[in-house]
Amino acid sequence: MSLLLMAGSGESNFMLDLLGPILPDTMPYWAVVAVGAVAGFAVLMAFVAVTAMFLVWLERKVAGHIQVRLGPMRVGGWHGWAQSIADGLKLLTKEDLIPRDADRFLFRLAPMLVMASVLACFVALPFAPNVQLAGLGDGAGTAMAGSDIDLGIFFLLSISALATIAVVAAGWGSNNKWSLYGAMREAAQVASYEIPLGLSLMVPVMYFGTFSLRDATFAQADWFGMKWFLFSNPVLAVPSFVLFFTAALAETKRAPFDLPEAESELVAGFHTEYSGMRFAFFFLEEYAAMFVMSAVAVAFWFGGWNFPGLESLADHPVLYTLAAVTSFTFKGLLLVFVMMWLRWTLPRLRIDQVMTMGYKYLTPLSLALIFVAATWEYIKFSMGWGS
Amino acid sequence: MSGPTTPAVDHAAGEREVLVDVRTQDVEINMGPQHPSTHGVLRVLLKADGEIITGAEPHLGYLHRSAEKIGESVEWIQYLPYTDRYDYLSAMNNNLGYSLAVEKLLGVEAPERAQWIRMILAEMNRIASHLVAVGTYGLDIGAFTPFFYTLRERELLLDLFEKICGARLTYSYIRPGGLMNDSPTGWMESVSRFCDLFEEKWQEYWDLLIVNKIFVERLTNVGVMPADFAIAWGTTGPVLRGSGVDFDQRRDQPYLFYDKVDFDVIVGRGELGTVGDCWDRTYVRMHEMLQSVRIIRQAIAKIEPGEIQHPDVSHTLRPAPGHAYVGIENPRGELGHYLISDGEKVAVRCRVRGPSFANLSCLGKLLPGTMLADAVAVIGSIDIVLGETDR
């Protein structure tokens, strides 16, 4: 999936810009694209794996400190930094178990699908502007992303919904009633929360007039961060962010919406029967998805990679890019931290309360907000304030 | 139930006619014996229509250890350690219940100092037990953190128990005729310090968990036991008082020196929902801990040096033929011991009335109509210890 997409957007691809001049001229274009796609995929895969493993470690530390304990302290020496690596190795070496009566095809497909969907999401995240890194390429106005898609947010929403299908497949394929309950809850929950999630995103989309994460981020540059959506128009931004964040929690199955894997009710929900690396995929997906949702919020509400003072680095392309990537990632991690904080503080809702909240409150509220935003945009343009 | 046959439609009951019979089968699902929220090895066979429970049947016995039969085959004193094991979260109270019953049979009473220490320990144990109950209840509802806070304070209590008797969970400290030994120097002061600290921490649990909006939403009007229902099913303890029934063994059939101290019997008042819902039972437990602190403070103020063991109660007991029943207020309800002696070294009958067992029996009535997540909430609010239901 991501291979195709990256190959499809050849014109302004960051990887192609980077690799193009290095590869021999005799190579046919399709080969260049293929090499670029593979290289891009490798970089992304590494980034996702490292981020997810870091987040797993972070969650345990956050949970530990909230719960008056220390969390991992042994593996690797410094505050158990290698705990996730050790866990990963353990999971890799575990026996591959499939329940006898499971639907083997679906059971095997689910973890792959879930990982593929979240990896594909990462493709669309704009980490930094595409400056002329190390003197190569000419991507002014484009972003350093796996694939710089114009309909970025549209792509993200549709691809991230794939994970639901995988979860339902896992729950059904496991041939376990608890797993099935988890899968059904996931289907119901995600189907209802996709609506407020998408609708609340329409507010910044209307405000910036673009579906592209990259263009929205460029629009928030300069002015010492005062052009971040959150600060430039708090009346629209704050409520839409709260709606988005709540819906994102439900989308990523995080507390207080962690019903699909509610430990105290459904044992482990849809992944009860999974072990070893297949389980690890579900686990990593959860953390990667948290980062994706946070990154979307960062791109639309918190200025993306922008931070006051970034412009002063414009003469040093490498530094500039590094600073931008760091800023984007750091903001994303901050939001992920908030998600963790909530998880270790709040109890869990019941399924009917989740549904009530989605359909009775979040959806009408986000619709009302869209109306307000549309009115605002109309006034802005009819008065000639808009750019 | 499949095929195109049209079922009989009762229009008066508001049923609509459908072209094809689309009625579905209920799911039968085993909750336990290996399940995170059954607090041990309870198995509840649930019938569910989607998320809504239509039937529930508790299956017991996974932890059965023939406690009563053991009580009829070992000497009176030798049975004491077995009492620790039925409700392992309140072993002091179990020791106390058995010891009082044996003492009644023997016709002796423990010395005054022993009685005061027994009271302090019983109340400390009540706090420790309720701390686990409230903490794990948070886990059941999905709040993981309060559990660690409550266990942090319980740890202090266990340290105090360890100081006085050397054990942290199964004490066998309170025994027929008195106590194993006197309290070590400075122990009473440590208990006082704990009381001061605990009141501060109690507020933490209250703010973080008990009045949390989601917690309240999850528990109010769920698993409602009206007063007559609670009485009819023989519930006791916080479950009974949560339903608004003002009954406490400590006040209404006083043992030890409970008639010499002031304390309030907490009853559920349906402050946030209906009287007798899950939240009310938690409310009762939370406030009982504060009352226990009150009792401990008064007991420490009134205790005086003295003997701690009745001189006539030795190792091998031969109570005169007869029978005795003593029911005490365990953290989970009335723990009764009914003992029959024929004058020999071994009891003829050693019957134990466990509160968890009686409280659990109403589950099959309480669950139908609630949701799957509520089943967890209801079981947690009854606060069972499987060691005791199965014995």
pLDDT computed for residue A215 by the predictor: 80
**Closest chain B CA to residue A182:** B51
pLDDT computed for residue B144 by the predictor: 86
pLDDT computed for residue A12 by the predictor: 52
For the packed helices B91-106 and B112-141, what is the interaxial angle rounded to 10 degrees? 140
Q: Round to whole Å and give the CA distance between B49 and A169.
A: 21
Count of A–B CB contacts within 8 Å? 78
Quick one: which of A377, A360, A368, A355 has its CA closest to A239?
A: A368
Interface touch A346/B148, C-beta < 8 Å = no
- What residues does B55 pair with on adjacent strands? B47
| Below-50 pLDDT ranges, chain A | 1-11, 133-138
* Strand pairing class (B322-330; B333-341): antiparallel
Interface touch A264/B152, C-beta < 8 Å = no
Give CA separation, B10 vs B7, B13, B22, in Å.
9, 6, 16
Q: How many CA atoms lie within 13 A of A75 on its CB side?
A: 13
Give B214 to chain A, closest Cα distance, Å. 6
Give A250 to chain B, closest Cα distance, Å. 15
Give A264 to chain B, closest Cα distance, Å. 5
Residues of A in contact with B143 (CB under 8 A): 345-348
Q: What is the dihedral of CA A365, A370, A376, A379, to 10 degrees?
A: -130
Query: From the list B143, B149, B373, which residue is nearest A346 (CB)?
Result: B143
Give A162 to chain B, closest Cα distance, Å. 24
Could you tell me if A324 and A129 are in contact, meaning their C-beta atoms sit under 8 angstroms apart?
yes
How many of the other CB atoms lie within 10 Å of CB of B311? Answer: 10
Let me know the angle formed at the C-alpha of A97 by A92 and A100, rounded to the nearest 5 degrees: 165
pLDDT (tens, 9 = 90+) of chain B, 391 residues, equals 444 555 566 656 655 555 566 667 788 888 878 887 777 788 888 888 888 888 888 888 888 888 889 988 998 888 999 998 888 888 999 999 999 999 998 888 889 899 999 999 999 999 999 999 999 999 888 888 899 999 999 999 999 999 998 888 888 899 888 888 888 888 999 999 999 999 889 998 898 889 988 899 888 888 888 999 999 988 998 999 989 888 988 888 888 888 889 888 988 888 888 888 899 999 999 999 999 999 999 999 988 888 888 888 777 888 888 889 999 999 998 999 999 998 888 888 899 998 988 888 888 888 888 888 888 889 889 888 888 888 8
DSSP-assigned letter for residue B285: H
Residues of A in contact with B36 (CB under 8 A): 263-264, 267
Q: In a mutagenesis test of the B interface, which of A258, A350, A352 is the best target, namely the one with the most B β-carbons within 10 Å?
A: A350
Structure tokens at A15: 């990887």
Distance linking the first and last C-alpha atoms of chain A: 37
Residues of A in contact with B214 (CB under 8 A): 256, 346-349
pLDDT computed for residue A242 by the predictor: 92
Let me know the angle formed at the C-alpha of B116 by B115 and B119, rounded to the nearest 5 degrees: 90
Binding-face residues of B in 1-40 toward A, CB within 8 A: 27, 29, 35-37
The model's pTM: 0.84
Q: In a mutagenesis test of the B interface, which of A265, A272, A352 is the best target, namely the one with the most B β-carbons within 10 Å?
A: A265
CA–chain centroid gap for A150, Å, is: 17
Query: From the list A63, A66, A262, which residue is nearest B142 (CB)?
Result: A262
Interface touch B143/A350, C-beta < 8 Å = no
pLDDT computed for residue A5 by the predictor: 44
Residues of A in contact with B215 (CB under 8 A): 347
Please state whether the peptide bond connecting residue A256 to the residue before it is cis, i.e. omega within 30 degrees of 0: yes
Structure tokens at B327: 């029911």
- Residues 6 or more apart in contact with residue A180 via CB below 8 angstroms: A171, A172, A174
**Closest chain A CA to residue B140:** A264
- b or e along A188-215 (b: 16 or more beta carbons within 10 Å of the residue's beta carbon)? bbbebbbbbbbbbbbbbbbbbebbbbbb
User: What ipTM was estimated for this complex?
Assistant: 0.80
Q: How many CA atoms lie within 13 A of B99 on its CB side?
A: 29
Q: In a mutagenesis test of the A interface, which of B51, B153, B378 is the best target, namely the one with the most A β-carbons within 10 Å?
A: B51
Interval B312-354: pLDDT, tens:
877 788 888 888 999 999 999 899 999 999 888 888 889 999 8
- What residues does B349 pair with on adjacent strands? B340
Give A301 to chain B, closest Cα distance, Å. 28
- Residues 6 or more apart in contact with residue B90 via CB below 8 angstroms: B125, B126, B128, B129, B330, B331, B332
Could you tell me if B276 and B243 are in contact, meaning their C-beta atoms sit under 8 angstroms apart?
yes
Q: In a mutagenesis test of the A interface, which of B43, B211, B372 is the best target, namely the one with the most A β-carbons within 10 Å?
A: B372
* Strand pairing class (A128-129; B333-341): unpaired
Interface touch A262/B373, C-beta < 8 Å = yes
Interval A54-94: pLDDT, tens:
888 999 999 999 988 888 888 888 888 888 888 888 888 88
Interface touch A346/B140, C-beta < 8 Å = no
Distance linking the first and last C-alpha atoms of chain B: 43
SS3 of chain B: helix, strand, coil, percent, to 5: 45, 15, 40
Please state whether the peptide bond connecting residue A21 to the residue before it is cis, i.e. omega within 30 degrees of 0: no
Interface touch A347/B149, C-beta < 8 Å = no
Give CA separation, A115 vs A180, B61, B175, B312, in Å.
20, 43, 61, 74
Let me know the angle formed at the C-alpha of A17 by A12 and A21, rounded to the nearest 5 degrees: 145
Amino acid A290 reads M
Q: Three-state secondary structure along chain A?
A: CHHHHHHHCCCCCHHHHHHCCCCCCCCCHHHHHHHHHHHHHHHHHHHHHHHHHHHHHHHHHHHHHHCCCCCCCCCCCHHHCCHHHHHHHHHHHCCCCCCCCCCHHHHHHHHHHHHHHHHHHHHCCCCEECCCHHHCCCCCCCEECCCCCCCHHHHHHHHHCHHHHHHHHHHHHCCCHHHHHHHHHHHHHHHHHHHHHHHHHHHHHHHHCCCCHHHHHHCCCCHHHCCCHHHHCHHHHHHHHHHHHHHHHHHCCCCCCCHHHCHHHHCCHHHCCCCHHHHHHHHHHHHHHHHHHHHHHHHHHCCCCCCCCHHHHCCCHHHHHHHHHHHHHHHHHHHHHHHHHHHCCCCCCCHHHHHHHHHHHHHHHHHHHHHHHHHHHHHHHHCCCCC
Structure tokens at A318: 């490498």
- What residues does B29 pair with on adjacent strands? B46
- Residues 6 or more apart in contact with residue A196 via CB below 8 angstroms: A243, A246, A247, A358, A362, A363, A365, A366
